[in-house]
Amino acid sequence: MGWEEGRFPQKSSEGRKLREVGPTLLTENFTLISSHIGTPLKERILGSKSDLVVIEMSSESDRRDLYNHYRDVVRKMMYSNGDLEDPIPYCVDLVLDMVKFQMVKRLLQFAAAAEYVSEGLDDHLVDDSDDDEVRTTRIPDSSLTRMKSFVNSIGLGESADDLLKLNDSEEDERKRRIANFVKHELPSDEYSRFSAARSATFLDEVKGGSKRKHKEGNLLWWLGAPQCEPSVSFILAFTGREVVAYFVDAAVTVMRTEESNLFLNDTKDSHVAAPYEDCPLQIRHYTEALRRCEGWRRHRDFLFGYNETVETDVDCQEKADNSASLNSGTEENGCQQVTNGSDSLNGGITYM
């Protein structure tokens, strides 16, 4: 069983049907989704000089080099989070597609949120301008402050400071599982390669401190976006790392809880594995992990989709309570109206 184009169908948007997500179609989807963002927003926030958000690669070789680079990054991250050193190629393609799709989704949220922030700052500067005021030197915001500002602008329902204080039980369990693997199961001859895989990152490596000439990788270029605030690239890289870690960890959970005697496993070369062979995670483990992720099923958001679900449920309950106080027979109608409104904003609910 392998990756097939169109495994994850996308809902139509404003009468124009988006193409289905597959290994070669995410940039085209980004172009279509970006068409809903006005030109002033692209010029003011994203720094684009034209009406196109997507920047064409200089050559097909550049596009291929970037694809191979980030595919290798994903492969290493999969290895360091629970898959074998050589995962099944179809699984690598699937995880890479998910990473790129979630990064583009987050980038568009940055752009939409920045529009409101920019308008508010423009109004503030106009109101507070005073030619007679003595100008003072202001200490620039730190990278951490700028990143917190971006996180707060996403609208996750919690501030960046609140999120930093939370204990992530899933991350803690993931770290314990990996530590136990390194201590008891990792062969000694693989330790150096495993350590190198742990350092894989989506962050750009630059030549000689230059911010324009990249030694390896160019994340915004790969996503088809213009150059942005450096904090945006940092958050996108962090998002990509978390998508891989969460995705692989969920697939490991599926593998450990399934009835293994009911399935045949493939090796990385697509041969049926013998019972005694160590096998990489199978495509069924990853697809089942997607199916179990409510945020992905409902909102096509693998990391943050559950937040919208919670808010929708709360609004639905409030609507039902208000309806009950007015008319005991309107609870169901009120809840249905809220649900329909949520579907229209999030492209509808599509179960896999």
Would you state the pLDDT for residue 54? Answer: 43
Residues 122-179: tens digit of each pLDDT: 555 555 545 444 444 444 455 567 667 767 776 666 777 777 776 766 777 777 878 8
Residues 217-251: tens digit of each pLDDT: 789 889 988 877 777 888 899 999 999 999 999 99
Residue type, position 206, single letter: V
Checking if the pLDDT of 342 tops 80, the result is no
Higher pLDDT, 240 or 327: 240
Task: Look up the pTM and report it.
Answer: 0.59
216 with 201: CB under 8 angstroms? Answer: no
Checking if the pLDDT of 258 tops 50, the result is yes
Would you state the pLDDT for residue 97? Answer: 95
Percentage, residues of the chain above pLDDT 70: 53
Distance CA 203, CA 101 (A): 17
Instruction: Please report, in angstroms and rounded to a whole number, the separation of the first and last CA atoms in the chain.
Output: 16
Residue type, position 107, single letter: L
Checking if the pLDDT of 328 tops 70, the result is no
The residue extents of the domains of the chain are 26-123+143-292, 304-352
88 with 268: CB under 8 angstroms? Answer: yes
φ/ψ of residue 215, rounded to 5: -70, -50
Would you state the pLDDT for residue 87? Answer: 94
pLDDT, the chain, mean: 68
